Amino acid sequence: MKLLTLFLSFAKVGVMTFGGGYAMIPILEREIVDKHGWASSEELMDYYAVGQCTPGVIAVNTATFIGYKVGGGVGGVVATMGVIFPSLIIIMLIAGILTNFAEIPAVKSAFSAIRVCVCVLIFNSVLKLWKGAIKDKAAVVLFAIVFGISLFFDVSPIVFVVFCAAAGIILTRTGVRGK
């Protein structure tokens, strides 16, 4: 029963996620943290950060991490299949139709409006992440450094995550941050 719930929960996330991995954060939080309690908000963001740094799609990587936590290796596979399944079905249906209708003005307008909606979803996710992550002056400084570098240079997210992890360890060991 737990595996079925895991599959259906991630299928729900998969079917409701428009706009990619970042847009799924609020849905994931509602389903995984609030509804089932499979992870805390902090754990979810940790899985999300690692999922972004590992090869593959963020949604799939995050589903695999959470599924593994909940149900071991089988849970990881089940959650991954759950998050992929709706996209697979929807994409197969749309692929046959979209190429014939992609140039219709109403379709172009619909996709343009959907992109605006996705921006709002991502912005809301950033605000939630800010509230959970920025808890002291050291976090504000790390945020400013990473944000500044990301504006002017094309740096891999892996570099940022490794840098912040190392900074967190150093700041804690030197007593700048609480343990």
Q: Is residue 59 one of the residues assigned to a domain?
A: yes
Kindly state the helix (H) or strand (E) to which residue 70 belongs, with its residue range.
helix 58-101
For helices 58-101 and 2-16, give the axis angle rounded to 10 degrees: 50
Q: Does residue 61 form part of some domain?
A: yes
Q: Is residue 131 part of a domain?
A: no
**Cβ neighbours of 152 (radius 10 Å):** 7
The most distant pair of C-alpha atoms in the chain lies apart, rounded to whole Å, by 62
Considering the domain boundaries, does residue 138 fall inside one?
A: no
> Is position 123 within any domain?
no
Predicted pLDDT at 151: 95
Output the pLDDT for position 3: 93
Q: State which residues form the domain around 67.
A: 2-104
* Domain presence at residue 41: yes
| Position 111 in a domain | no
* Residue 155 located in a structural domain: no
**DSSP assignment letter at 175:** T
> What is 39-64 written as a DSSP string?
S-HHHHHHHHHHHHHSSS-HHHHHHH
pLDDT of residue 13: 86
- The reported pLDDT for the residue numbered 19 is 63
Res 47: pLDDT: 85
Instruction: Report pLDDT for 18.
Output: 67
Domains identified in the chain, total number: 1
- Average pLDDT of adjacent 10-residue blocks, the chain of 179 residues: 92 78 78 91 84 80 92 95 90 80 84 88 84 86 94 92 92 78
Q: Tell me what pLDDT residue 75 has.
A: 96
**pLDDT given at position 169:** 92
